[in-house]
Amino acid sequence: MTIETLLIIPIILSIIMIIFRFKIINRICIIINAILFIVAPVLYYFNKEFIKPFNWLLKYFSIDALSFLFFSVMAVVNFGISFYTIFYFKSKDYSNKHDTLFSVLYLLFLICMTGVILSSHLAITWIFIEATTLTGTLLIYLEKEKSSLEAAWKYIFISSIGVSFAYVGIILLSMGNKSGDSLFFVNLYKNAANFTPLWLKLSFAFILVGFGTKVGLAPVHAWLPDAHSEASSPISALFSGTLLNAALIGILKFYKIMINAQMESYAKILLLSMGFLSLLVSAVFVLKVKNYKRMLAYSSIENMGIIVIGIGLGSTGFFASLYHLTAHSLSKSSMFLTTGNIYHHYHSKKINEVKGLLSTDKISGWIWIFSFIAISGFPPFPAFMSKFMLIETFFKKGLSSLAVPFFLFLIIILFGMGKTVFLMSAGSGNAVKNKNLNIFAYIPQVFYLALLLIIGTVLPDFIKKIIQSAADFF
Amino acid sequence: MTNILIILFGLTMLHVFSTTRIEAYIKTLTLQGFLLFLMILLEIKKLLLINFIYLGIETLIFKTIIIPIFLFNVVRKNEIKREVEPYISHLYSLIIASLIFVFGFVISLWLLKIENEIKHLYFGISISMIISGLFLIITRKKIITHILCYMMIENGIFLLSLSIAKEMPLLVNLGILLDIFVGIYLFLLFFNKIQTAYDQDHIDVLTGLKD
């Protein structure tokens, strides 16, 4: 099997869906794709020859330890969401045509993210990141409401401008690239020491702002709360669990060039300041939001900030960051999928219109609470370990003064989210009992939470090895 | 000769600052596309044939013909005539525009001191174009103007990419072109949707989502 297969099979499945335009076919195709995405990394883990780059397309795609981790996380998140769509589409009752459009765009979006993660060429990464913007916009707009139109517009416009900044970064990099002329990451890493420092520094700043827009780092996060709150819940989960990671891998691969050029001290300052700014922004807004999906969106900004801070710290911070990334993707997807259930019961996204979730729908209520516990980093969930390791790294690096605000922001956000989550869960229910939630509305979240528990308590060797070798990439 | 073209290219940007007619913006955009095409014609000796064909198609067919026709259709269909009163008046806008251009050249001359291999005219004009495009997006209110300014930023970036002699592989270039083209198409699609949903094309209508 070659890497291109991972890109081509979804396209074939999309074509099948377009030909048949039938709901059941759409569901089957999405599930087949999810299974393919899960099976491929598993087989690759046991046999490194299983996925090999193919000479076709001049080796524009390759797989290494870092992209393997990101791809696996994406595959797992996508696996859950694909099953959730069975419930979601049943409850929505779209027409066959609309359903097909949604499913095709869903697969195209996945292809674009796979492209970002597996690309071995800087410009190809850029192309696919811009492509995620384009397909993502249509996915946000599929609900066809005024508010989703506004969110879609902000998303496409802000992201496109941000990503064009990243393109300026690529041009600046080529200016500084005296010896080599290709933008393959392998060559860039090899030649890193020969770059003109000035151009490399400028280039990193542009790339960080550009791809950072897609990651949702403050101060360029403006699109994120709108898009996450207005998209349908499987799409919000997909955005938060995989799209932000996919954009982050662009920054990480570029950061490796900075390390090889021995300019990481400069890059660290930028990463840390954007990370702390993200924490600040989400700490301020999480206390005043009135919409529970927006609250989760701010929490995504927070977690991306934490990850970037970990990368900026270096050494054990790399492992902590990537561990946190895994934890965040799974628990946040679980929360966003649960918002779909909540919306199904209450028909409102406002926090004060949702009361007594536990008495309305016991399972969703408990999933909601446990996912919150998982995301906010209580033991035994993995986010606890990763945050603990990060604080430890602060002290190890002699940056204990930074550990104080870091901890403070986390506490504020924990308080803001916790208040909302428990207000929504407790009390007597004010929703009309709506019994037609089928089993697929719960299974994905339970699957994520079980996986998180396993990662948090046992941490099986193979998972540790995957994350560790990804951390050794730097 | 190329230098004259680049200066003309910069002047078109100043024209945008001083006018309010949307059609004039689109005509400027067409002119910019054509100027870029002429610059590529002058560089013909340095380019590989395949890259020349690609760049020629991008500038002449896409930037000069197809996209402006798209834009004209949208503008005429929706009967948009003028930009409404911007947040900052035209006189001040022009002053700020000149400052942006001064800033662009100061930056490029400063870079020239450190790094003497850059073409400072290319660099100065394209940096000024990118910044002034952003400035226009911030100060103007109509969504269609925002789309046009995005195109101008893209033109500025294109000029910057012309200043480096290195070429990207054709496949990569095609991918970039596809992205930008689909991007513009979606911009216009959403512009039409906003126009029909809100019956207005101000960004002021897009304030429903906030905390």
Report the range of poorest mean pLDDT among A16-25, A176-185, A318-327, B137-146: A176-185
E-assigned strand segments in B40-161: none
Interchain proximity A133–B183, CB inside 8 Å: yes
pLDDT, one tens digit per residue, over A212-242 is 999 999 899 999 999 999 999 999 999 999 9
pLDDT, one tens digit per residue, over B110-150 is 888 887 777 888 889 999 999 999 999 998 888 999 999 99
Would you say B71 and B34 are in contact if contact means Cβ atoms under 8 Å apart?
A: no
CA distance A62 to A149: 37
pLDDT, one tens digit per residue, over A16-49 is 999 999 899 999 999 999 999 999 999 988 888 7
Statement: residue A245 has pLDDT above 90: yes
pLDDT score of B174:
87
A161, A206, A207, A290: which to substitute to probe chain B, counting the most B Cβ within 10 Å? A161
Would you say A267 and A304 are in contact if contact means Cβ atoms under 8 Å apart?
A: no
Give the residue-averaged pLDDT of A350-379: 91
Closest partner residue to A164 (CB to CB) among B154, B172, B197 is B154
Interchain proximity A60–B164, CB inside 8 Å: no
Residue (of A230, A229, A233) closest to A334 by Cα position? A233
Residue A291: beta bridge partners? A350
Nearest chain A residue (CA) to B118 = A175
Statement: residue B166 has pLDDT above 90: no
pLDDT, one tens digit per residue, over B29-71 is 999 999 999 999 988 888 888 888 888 999 999 999 999 999 9
- Burial class of A458 by CB neighbour count within 10 A (0 to 12, 13 to 18, 19+): exposed
pLDDT, one tens digit per residue, over A83-132 is 999 999 888 888 899 999 999 999 999 999 999 999 999 999 999 999 99
Neighbours of A409 (CB within 10 A): 22
pLDDT score of A320:
95
Nearest chain B residue (CA) to A294 = B211
Contact list, B118 vs chain A (CB under 8 Å) = 175
Give the residue-averaged pLDDT of A149-178: 92
CA dist A124 to A119, A128, A185, A195, A270, Å? Answer: 6, 6, 11, 21, 24
Interchain proximity A171–B164, CB inside 8 Å: yes
Contact list, B171 vs chain A (CB under 8 Å) = 57-58, 60
Interface of B with A in 90-149 (CB under 8 A): 111, 114-115, 118, 130, 134, 137, 143, 146
Closest partner residue to B115 (CB to CB) among A121, A156, A196 is A196
pLDDT tier for residue B171 given thresholds of 50, 70 and 90: confident
Statement: residue A65 has pLDDT above 70: yes
**Amino acid identity of A187?**
N
Q: Which two tokens stand for residue A286?
A: 């999480």
Q: Report the gap between the CA of A264 and the closest CA in chain B (Å).
A: 21
Residue (of A32, A29, A22, A91) closest to A438 by Cα position? A91
Statement: residue A58 has pLDDT above 60: no
- Burial class of A156 by CB neighbour count within 10 A (0 to 12, 13 to 18, 19+): buried
Nearest chain B residue (CA) to A123 = B172
Closest partner residue to A160 (CB to CB) among B111, B115, B150 is B150
Nearest chain B residue (CA) to A125 = B172
**Residues above pLDDT 90, as percent of chain A:** 76
Judged by a CB distance cut-off of 8 A, whether residue B203 touches chain A is no
**Residues above pLDDT 70, as percent of chain A:** 96
Statement: residue B185 has pLDDT above 90: yes
pLDDT, one tens digit per residue, over B188-209 is 999 999 988 888 888 888 888 8
Interchain proximity A154–B168, CB inside 8 Å: no
Give the residue-averaged pLDDT of A265-273: 95
Nearest chain A residue (CA) to B134 = A161
How much is the mean pLDDT over chain A?
A: 92
A133, A164, A207, A213: which to substitute to probe chain B, counting the most B Cβ within 10 Å? A164
Provide ipTM, 2 decimals.
0.95
pLDDT tier for residue A180 given thresholds of 50, 70 and 90: low
Interchain proximity A152–B187, CB inside 8 Å: no
Q: Report the gap between the CA of A276 and the closest CA in chain B (Å).
A: 21
pLDDT tier for residue A143 given thresholds of 50, 70 and 90: confident
Domain boundaries, chain B: 2-205
Would you say A85 and A442 are in contact if contact means Cβ atoms under 8 Å apart?
A: no
pLDDT, one tens digit per residue, over A405-444 is 999 999 999 999 999 999 999 888 776 666 668 899 999 9
pLDDT score of A432:
67
Nearest chain B residue (CA) to A160 = B183
Contact list, B150 vs chain A (CB under 8 Å) = 157, 160-161, 164
Statement: residue A269 has pLDDT above 90: yes
Judged by a CB distance cut-off of 8 A, whether residue B20 touches chain A is no
**Amino acid identity of A52?**
K
Statement: residue A361 has pLDDT above 60: yes
Residue showing tokens 């499945």: A13
**Amino acid identity of A152?**
A
Interchain proximity B187–A157, CB inside 8 Å: yes
Interchain proximity B194–A289, CB inside 8 Å: no
Nearest chain B residue (CA) to A133 = B183
CA atoms within 13 A on the CB side of A240: 37
Statement: residue A53 has pLDDT above 70: no
